[in-house]
Amino acid sequence: MSSYAELNRQRRRARSLYLELRSLDLSLAVRPDCQDLRGYRVEVRGLRSLSPRHADRVQRRVEEYAPGLARILDGASRWVPELQAIREEGEA
């Protein structure tokens, strides 16, 4: 089990990644996936607007931070009051 500090670090990194992806005009969605051990996957839409190399790098980072991104997208994180502000900042 991860420590609280590690979970907090992952949340911060996922938040930064979320804002970065939104600034690239990419959209994210959480989808159920029975083949994944987590039971879900985070999809990135709009990767075709990036170079193949950049898209691959983005996809790897999304996979790395999938739990934190899923919390942001589902609104199930501990910082729910900030969620709307994060989404608005990402859309600006």
Domain edges within the chain: 4-91
Which helix (H) or strand (E) element contains residue 86? Answer: helix 80-91
Evaluate the CA torsion angle 52, 53, 58, 64 in order and state its sign: positive
Task: Dig out the tokens for 70 from the structure.
Answer: 């899923």
Amino acid at 41: R
pLDDT tens sequence across 25-73: 999 888 887 777 777 888 999 999 999 999 999 999 999 998 888 888 8
Cα gap 71→91, rounded to integer Å: 18
Q: For the whole model, what pTM was predicted?
A: 0.70
Cα gap 79→15, rounded to integer Å: 10
Amino acid at 24: L
What pLDDT does residue 92 have? 57
